[in-house]
Chain A
Amino acid sequence: AQSVTQLDSHVSVSEGTPVLLRCNYSSSYSPSLFWYVQHPNKGLQLLLKYTSAATLVKGINGFEAEFKKSETSFHLTKPSAHMSDAAEYFCVVSDRSSGGYNKLIFGAGTRLAVHP
């Protein structure tokens, strides 16, 4: 079965400094991977997705992630943090449900705090 591990439950950065949110995955086949963001009292918004095309994936709001098969990692980065980036971030792997359909497996989340 597929799984994801988010290595940090909390990350704190200063505004204007780089962001790194770490994610390792476990998959028995070529996975589809996603990063979602959740602002307080809101649903989840898709930041970016990897589906076996280019290993460096660019998303919205300046975020990007690199798929590294040898390290089974899919870390999320941003060159310069903005106050509005403060939120919960989820690394997600796609699995197959019993019916053969798409099923998302979520990591536990990383809470990003951005300080002035």
Chain B
Amino acid sequence: EAGVAQSPRYKIIEKRQSVAFWCNPISGHATLYWYQQILGQGPKLLIQFQNNGVVDDSQLPKDRFSAERLKGVDSTLKIQPAKLEDSAVYLCASSLVGGQGQPQHFGDGTRLSIL
């Protein structure tokens, strides 16, 4: 089966600019996740969708970050305006359902550098 697709792979922007990332989950996966992975740390969940509804965005900096999952398939994550501390790898993952014990499948991520 095709894996989780993300684009772009790399992005370099200046602070205060805006940026958007795209994710296409594995076909049939109802649950989609966006993670932020800062260099030297484990991934941190930003937002979780169940179909096209948000079920957890408690760690999303809502003053600058937004995400949507229209039609319950693809998703976009946006940062506006970007800050230096947003430099990280942004990982998208999906799982068949959202229950405990369900493994998540990850894309290769988008590496964001803020100048």
Residues of A within 8 A of B (CB): 32, 34, 36, 41-46, 49, 51, 90, 92, 94, 96-99, 101-104, 106-109
- A103/B48 in contact, CB under 8 A: yes
Stretch of B13-21, B70-78, B80-88, B101-109 on the interface side: B101-109
- B55/A44 in contact, CB under 8 A: no
Residues of B within 8 A of A (CB): 4, 31, 33, 40-45, 48, 50, 55-56, 58, 91, 93, 95, 98-109, 111
Q: Nearest B residue to A106 by beta-carbon distance?
A: B42
- A43/B107 in contact, CB under 8 A: yes
Supposing A90-B42, A99-B50, A109-B41 touch, asked if A104 and B108 sit within 8 A by C-beta, the answer is no
A8–B42 CA distance with the chains assembled, in angstroms? 14
- A46/B41 in contact, CB under 8 A: no
Supposing A102-B98, A107-B42 touch, asked if A97 and B48 sit within 8 A by C-beta, the answer is yes
- A43/B109 in contact, CB under 8 A: yes
Q: Which of B42, B55, B101, B102 has the most CB of A within 10 A?
A: B42
Cβ-closest 7 pairs across A and B: A106-B42, A99-B55, A101-B98, A43-B106, A97-B56, A32-B101, A51-B101
